[in-house]
Copies of this chain bind each other. A is one copy, B any other.
Amino acid sequence: MLRVSIRIDMNSDLGEGFGAWSMGDDKGVLSSVSSANVACGYHAGDPSIMRETVKLCASKGVAVGVHVSYPDLMGFGRRNMTCSPQEVYDYCLYQIGALNAFCCTQGVELQHVKPHGALYNQAARDKKLADAIAAAARDSGDGLILLGLAGSEFEPAAKAAGVKFAAEAFADRAYLNDGSLMPRSREGAVIHDADLATRRVVQMVTKGTVTAEDGSQIQFRPDSICLHGDTKEAVDMAEAVRRALEEAGVEIRPLRETM
Contacts and interface: CB of A to CB of B under 8 A. Distances in A.
A75 interface: yes
Contact of A73 (B17, B18, B140): B18
A91 B72 CA distance: 14
Contacts of A44: 20
Size class of the contact patch on chain A: 35 or more
A141 interface: yes
Nearest to A86: B48
B141 A90 contact: no
A74 B46 contact: yes
A104 B140 contact: yes
Contacts of A80: 80-82
A16 to B, nearest CB: 8
Interface string A24-51: 0000000000000000010010111011
Given A71-B74, A79-B83, A101-B140, 17 more contacts: A17-B21, A18-B73, A18-B74, A19-B76, A20-B76, A21-B23, A46-B74, A47-B90, A48-B87, A51-B90, A51-B93, A72-B72, A75-B87, A94-B102, A97-B101, A98-B101, A100-B100
27 contacts: A18-B73, A19-B73, A19-B74, A20-B76, A21-B21, A21-B22, A46-B90, A47-B91, A47-B93, A48-B90, A51-B90, A71-B72, A75-B83, A79-B82, A94-B98, A94-B102, A95-B98, A97-B99, A97-B100, A97-B101, A97-B104, A98-B101, A100-B100, A104-B139, A104-B140, A104-B141, A105-B140
